[in-house]
Each structure stands twice: as structure tokens, then as C-alpha cells.
A and B are shown apart, each in its own frame.
Chain A
Amino acid sequence: MSVAQAVEVVMPRLSDSMEEGTIVRWLKRSGQSVSRGEAIAEIETDKATMEFEAEADGVLEIVAQEGDTLPLGSPIARLLPPGSTPAAGGGGATAAPEPSGGPSAGDAGRAGAAANGASSGARATPVARRLARDLGIDLRAVTPSGRRGQIMKADVLAAAAARDRDGDRAAAPAPAAASESASAGARPGAAAVEPSGAKGEVTVIELSRLQRTVASRMSESRATVPDFTLEVDIDMGACVDLRERLKEHADPAPSLNDMVVKACALTLRDHPNVNAAYRDGRFERYGRVNVGVAVAGEDALIVPVVRDADRKSLGEIARSTRELARRVREGTIEPPDLAGGTFTVSNLGMFGITRFAAVINPPQAAILAVGAVEERPVVRDGRIAVGRLMTVSLSSDHRILYGADAARFLADLRARLEAPLTLLL
């Protein structure tokens, strides 16, 4: 099947969480004929570099250059009818056709249309197309409801409403989620009760987009990250005492978790492979230390990020974690607060949990799971004494962190928390 008229090829959605992609390499030149199914470019997503295939026969006209990072739906090329000659300079000179007006890139994302039993032809109604353009909605991400599988106006409006409600936050690389608006009448969060047998009534609840993001990223983590977990007990006596003294001088007084965050941040500076990620066969080490702090939101998990935690004072960390937690509770947390984490701390101590292993937040190399501080018998100088111990566990991606690396990180972290004066420097 050849294209009958110029068709826009746009940045495809190659993974659930993908919001933008980078053209790593064009595998065809402008002006070259390509066949349906032939790889035309390598595109890097947040997860992998993937080959991207032509959806129809035609002459390639390259629009986006190698190295360009573009949001989903941005034009990257055009497919011209056979025999055409691309515009000089690689496109942009001629009027762009309707996005997704033909066999364009990423049609796989429109699987819903096929699932609806659509035959060829109808894709989106004219008004749906116009609204999608006006509202900046990528039609390939819209679930069609039309009787022939076409995207209707209502589908675009629903997609826009979903995006406005929670979509922007899902753009954060953390497994971020925000509280679902309870008042929203849209499908996510809506409960449907289905009659059932042995299990009684079954209430089916549609996931919000954020909940879907959490689900897919956690599954991806467990399915793809070869992780291992190391545990260590830390004597938090000095930290508890320090906190008591700081209460007289600081408002808010730093919590023990703030101290853990600060200690992690300082320790991360000395362990570059922990403040890092394994991505596409390479290590990425990050110049900034941004510590995500997992916070339970309503029906979701949110990980606001304390940026440059290694350079912030303990008091600044305390203020920023409280501010972030407040925004999470009020549902006013913004994407920038959720983006850019290089390491994550998850604390369930407030629930009395003494130890647990957390799921790595990909692509980060590790996550620290923090338990409760509790009085336990310890042996000091040959005597049994009462210690205030806290168990932490570090779950690590074995592709970048090996056992000894992770152990050294935990040992240094423990040393900082047991002698916490360096946290005040």
C-alpha cells in the first residue's frame, strides 16, 4: 500500500510511559523509497532504543534531525507518494497534512480502533480532528467510540479532560501519582459493581492514568531489573538526641527521615554508581543528587523530589519535604516537583514496619527502604544495652550496582547516621 498523498510521520508512542523520544539515527535518507515495515529510524525512548518502521510505502522526507528530542505526535518525517521528490532541506516548506490523516506512524497506538471492529476508512471525525489540534491531543492516544471505530468529538474531550486532570503529572519520571479527584465523573476511579458468585459482589474500579503508570512501571521494574536487597541495622540514638536538641532551634524540626534523606544525599556524592542508572547498555551517572521521597497519596503513590539534597541544609530539607507533602495532600503537586529524581527513599517506619524491601523505581539504580526506629537489645563493649535501632534495606539494580558497591554505600550511610554531626555541615 503506497501513500496517495503526503502523510505526516510523527514521533510514535513506543512505550506506555513515553512522553518524548530522541531520533538516534535515521536509517534511510531523505528521498529514499521505503517500504511498509522497513525500519526507517532508531528512536530512543525513556526505556530503550527501538527501530521504527514505515507504515506504508512511499518516499521518505526527513523533518527532524538526528539527536532531536521531540514530544509524542511531533512531526519527524513525511511519506510522499512514490515518485515524489522531498522538499529541499528536509521538509517544513510545504503545507503539513492533517496529523494522522493517513497511514502514519504509530498506528499501533490506535489498536482500539481495530478492537472496535473498525474496517478501513473512518479514523476521526472532522470535528474531533479539529478539536484534537486545538487542544493539543494526540489522536493516536484517544480511544474511539464511534460506530465504525472512529474517534468522535466526545472521545477527544474525554482525553483532554483526563489529561487536564492528571496527565501532566504522569509525565514525571517517578512512579508518580496524584490524588484522584473524587468528584470527577470520568471513567478512571469510577466503580462498577458486577454480580459475582463465590467472591460476592465484585466492584470493578478503573485505574486513573497515574495508577496505570504506577502499575506499569512497577511491573516493568520487577520484570526487567535484576535486583537484590541488602539490609543493615543503624543505631539512631545520636540522631534521636540530635533531633531533640534541634527542636529548640528549628521550626520545623528536621524529622529522622529528613536526616536519612540528607545522609543519603551526602553518601550518594561518594558513590556515583548509586546516584545513577543503567540505561540501554550504558551507565548514566548524574551530576545532581535529587532524592525522591515516596509519599502515600490518596489511592496512589507519589514521589516528590528534593532537588540537590546534598547541597541543602538539613533545615532546608525539612522545609521542602513538608512543603512537598502538603502539596501532595492538597493535590497541588506539580510535575517539576516530581521529576528528575536520581534516588528514592521510602519510609514505612511511621506504621511500625521494622523492615521491608522496596521496588526499584526505574531507571534509578537503587531505592532505600526505611523501617521504624525501635528500642532493641544491643551488645556494646560486651554488655547488653538498649539501643535505638533502625533497619534499612537497599534494593539495587545488579546491572549497575554489585553487592560490594551496595554494601559500601550502606556502610557509609550507617556511619553518617550514627555520627550525625556531619549532617549539619
Chain B
Amino acid sequence: MSEIEFRDAIKQALDEELARDERVVFFGEDVAAAGGVFAVTGGLQEAHGPRRVFDTPISELAIAGAAFGAAVTGLRPVVEIMFGDFLHLPMDSLVNQSAKYWFISNEQASVPLVVRSAVGAGGRFGAIHSQMPVPWFQGVPGIKIVCPATPRDAKGLLKAAIRDDNPVLFLEHKRLYSMKGPAGEPGEVLPIGKAEVVRPGDDLTIATAMKSVHDALAAAEELQGDGVSAEVVDLKTLRPLDLATVRESVVRTNRLLVVEEGPHTGGWSGAVLGQLAEDALEHLDDVWRLTTADAPIPYSPPLEDAFLPTAERIVASVRERLGLAAPSNPVTSTV
């Protein structure tokens, strides 16, 4: 199977959907002429023309407003908000217009809109360009939040997002752009809202998304040496959460660790634990979260590294929790 880079997978998805459906348009800051600050979208304007792929002024609200207007008048816009840290700027358009329109228009018009955005820490971008905005949108009915971990999923899920008739927030982790992985089938469209067991195990379920999936897989490999068989669930979509897959796994392993790159308070990992407690309490032997501290992401490289839920921290957390190691001083103390 051929390999593909994560950023190329996204470009391919955009390219294929632009070619497939003339209603699809793509715009954002520096996406066209410059090809995107993460070099994801180069060449798309040349391929599909400046009427369908174009740059915008630096106004996230204008971008989102234009996208909403385009969507309700028959186009299928894909926009890029360069950094997820600025998703609060178009929030009114996304939350109060795009996410609600289907419902308050008495189902007369849906909003087929995709917002792509680069998210996540570990890239030395500091406190204002490294955040994980999932919780900001977690409680907004009408929006889907897609969070791929692999090139194949990035492509297949972005194609699904573009074909979806409702607003989709498509989050791309910066640390994954240069990652290579197996390409999917040509033209493959993957289902939004479906998690996948990416490593089977018996003793523990680690549920997570995006970059943390790879950290969890590395941790599971390390834990194998301790005789701990960890199952890893790639959630892939964080709204709606595929809790049935998590539940099915936890019923077998009885232990659940949810790894969330994001603040401990108010995160989606709490929602996973909460729902599992409601649905499957009798199957739970232990449940916990590994998140980041309730603090801004540090700029200092050593501090940023220590801040994130890395494979090493996942391993240490599991060892401690399973009684294989003495409790360590937690890096993430909640304030």
C-alpha cells in the first residue's frame, strides 16, 4: 500500500471534492497564492481557478459569515481558520447561524459548511497558537467535530465532511502534517462519527484522538513489556462521540484511560467518562483522564514537552494506576 503525507492527504481530499462538485469552494487566509502556512493547499488555486479557491482578508468573522451565506445559497464552502486558537472570532457565525439554521428555518435549508483549522501544541507556537478548541464547540448541537489521526482518515473524513449537509469543524493537528501513513482506497469516503479500535488489548482501553493516538500506540507498545495489554481506540470524531465503540471495549477491559490534549477542566474526556459511568458503571474497574494542566500552554520547549500527554506520561500514568509503579509527582496538577 502506498504511503501518503497527512498534509497531502488533506490536499487530495480538497482537490478531489473541488473536481467532483462544482458547488465546492475553498477560501481563507493565505490558502491560495501562498498555499497555506502549513503548506497544505498549494496548487489548488491553479487547479480549480481563483473563483473557487481564493484568499481572504484577515477577518475570521468575515470568512465564516461569507461561508454561511454561501452555504445557504447553494454552495458547499470549505474555509480555513489558520489557527484553531482564533475559532472564537467566527464563533457567532458558526454557533448562532450555521449550527442553528437547519433547525430555526424549519428544516428549509441546511448549511453544508466545513471549517478546517490547525490545532494542537508541541510545535513551539506558544500559548496563543497551540490550543485545542474542541471544548469550545463540544456543547453546540448542530456542529460535528472531526479529529483525524492518520493521513488515510484525514482524507476520507475530509471528503465526508465536505459531502455532509451540516457544519463540520475539521481539526488538523499541526504535529501530524508531516506524518506519513498508508493511503486509503482511491476515492474513499469514511464515516463521520465512527471510532476504531486501532490496537486490540485486554487490560486497559486508551481512548483518544489526533496526535495522542500515536502517543497512546507508542505507550501501549511500551506497556506490553510490563505485561499490560492496552487497547487503543481512535475516536476520530469528537462530536458526536462514538461511545458505543468505547463502551464495547471497556466492557472487555474494565479500565478506561482517556487521553485529551487539552485542559483538564471542561474537556471532552470528562464527557466520555461521564457517559461511560452512566451507561456501563457495572463494567468499570478504573477510569481516569490524562490531560494537560489547567494552564496556558508554555512557550519554553522543555516546559511544553513536559506539559503534553506524551507516550512517556501515558506509560507512567498507567503503571501508577495499575499499581506497577509508585505514584509520581503529577505534572498536571489541577489548579
Using CB atoms and an 8 Å cutoff, list the residues of chain A in contact with chain B. Answer: 125-130, 145-147, 152-154
Are A127 and B321 in touch, CB under 8 angstroms?
no
Q: In the complex, which of the residues B285, B321, B327 contacts A125, with contact meaning CB atoms closer than 8 Å?
A: B285
* Assembly CA distance A129 to B284 (angstroms): 10
Are A127 and B323 in touch, CB under 8 angstroms?
no
- Indicate if B47 sits at the interface (CB-CB under 8 A): no
* Assembly CA distance A210 to B323 (angstroms): 29
* Assembly CA distance A410 to B281 (angstroms): 65
Closest CB of chain A to B122's CB: distance in Å?
A: 30
Are A153 and B282 in touch, CB under 8 angstroms?
no
- Taking CB atoms, residues of chain B closer than 8 Å to A127 are 254, 282-285
- Taking CB atoms, residues of chain A closer than 8 Å to B285 are 125-128, 152-154
- Taking CB atoms, residues of chain B closer than 8 Å to A128 are 285
* Assembly CA distance A379 to B327 (angstroms): 79
* Assembly CA distance A130 to B282 (angstroms): 6
* Assembly CA distance A140 to B281 (angstroms): 21
**25 A-B residue contacts at CB 8 Å?**
A125-B285, A125-B286, A126-B282, A126-B283, A126-B284, A126-B285, A127-B254, A127-B282, A127-B283, A127-B284, A127-B285, A128-B285, A129-B282, A130-B282, A130-B283, A145-B323, A147-B320, A147-B321, A147-B323, A147-B327, A152-B285, A152-B286, A153-B254, A153-B285, A154-B285
Using CB atoms and an 8 Å cutoff, list the residues of chain B in contact with chain A. Answer: 254, 281-286, 320-321, 323, 327
The 6 nearest A-B residue pairs measured at CB: A130-B282, A153-B285, A125-B285, A126-B281, A127-B285, A127-B254
Are B323 and A125 in touch, CB under 8 angstroms?
no
- Taking CB atoms, residues of chain A closer than 8 Å to B323 are 145-147
* Assembly CA distance A72 to B213 (angstroms): 47
* Assembly CA distance A147 to B283 (angstroms): 18
Closest CB of chain B to A189's CB: distance in Å?
A: 21
Closest CB of chain B to A217's CB: distance in Å?
A: 33
Closest CB of chain B to A76's CB: distance in Å?
A: 25
Q: Which residue of B lies closest to A145 (CB)?
A: B323
Closest CB of chain B to A147's CB: distance in Å?
A: 6
* Assembly CA distance A128 to B254 (angstroms): 10
Q: Which residue of B lies closest to A125 (CB)?
A: B285
- Taking CB atoms, residues of chain A closer than 8 Å to B254 are 127, 153
Q: Which residue of B lies closest to A124 (CB)?
A: B285
Closest CB of chain A to B156's CB: distance in Å?
A: 35
- Taking CB atoms, residues of chain A closer than 8 Å to B321 are 147
Q: Which residue of A lies closest to B284 (CB)?
A: A126
Q: Which residue of B lies closest to A156 (CB)?
A: B285
Closest CB of chain A to B70's CB: distance in Å?
A: 50
- Taking CB atoms, residues of chain A closer than 8 Å to B286 are 125, 146, 152
* Assembly CA distance A163 to B154 (angstroms): 52
- Taking CB atoms, residues of chain B closer than 8 Å to A152 are 285-286
